[in-house]
Structure 1
Amino acid sequence: CRYLETGFVEQTVGQRIARTTYTSTSHELLPGCTFYRPDGEPAADVAVTAFSTAVEAQTAAIALGTAAANRVDDIADGGVVLVTTDRTLLAITSGSTLLVVTINQASSLGARTIAAEVAPLLA
């Protein structure tokens, strides 16, 4: 992933990363990146979506969180984080861009760390 080092992701999620795939996104500069463990399970996924307006991006972020999500106010324009027993989904916005980080464990800290690394690139 050209904007997120594999070693950084390995240390953040505490898992070895064997390969990374890229997905085209609606953001001009940032593809989506999925980091896989040696057993083929995704350890972390970073998805970037460009919207027409900041309101549309925020609405999409909040919708991903459901009622069980907690607010995120300390990364970019904010959003939500939803922690379940087997994964964490963090959705934040920067202007009209939505950043979604999903990791395969119940750790909002890991998802926040990845989001904080990527968010400055969205501007």
Structure 2
Amino acid sequence: MSADRFRVAGPDLALGSKQALALTMALHELATNAMKYGALSVETGHVQVRWDRDDHAEPIGFRLSWQEHGGPTVTPPRRQGFGSRMIEQALAGYFDGIAELDYDPGGLRFELTSPLTGLTQQD
């Protein structure tokens, strides 16, 4: 797979070890599914990953998005598997935020939003 299939952009931000592990697991799950069923399963597909801080939010926030483009038409799964539950429920908890999957027919979207402090919070 060529590197140009991913478009990645965002500023340097510090992550706590628990958040880094949880985010790595979520991105691995998203990439695996994209290769099996989504944009990375066809030659023309690509994935855009962006993150940024939101200085206008109160408290200051963080947003990460995953967007698939150029893949097969997306349909919602009949049942939610372990990976989807982990992404939407567990990941959000590690960041004290909200994680959402959107099965847009044009390409799967995932968004994680949290307060900036959620990137390094400890239990």
Q: Which TM-score bucket, shorter chain as reference? A: 0.3 to 0.5
When Rg is computed on C-alpha atoms for both structures, the one with the higher figure is: 2
Tell me which of the two structures has the higher relative contact order, counting C-alpha pairs closer than 8 angstroms and 6 or more residues apart.
Answer: 2
| TM-score with structure 1 setting the length | 0.35
| TM-score with structure 2 setting the length | 0.35
Q: Which has the higher helix share?
A: 2
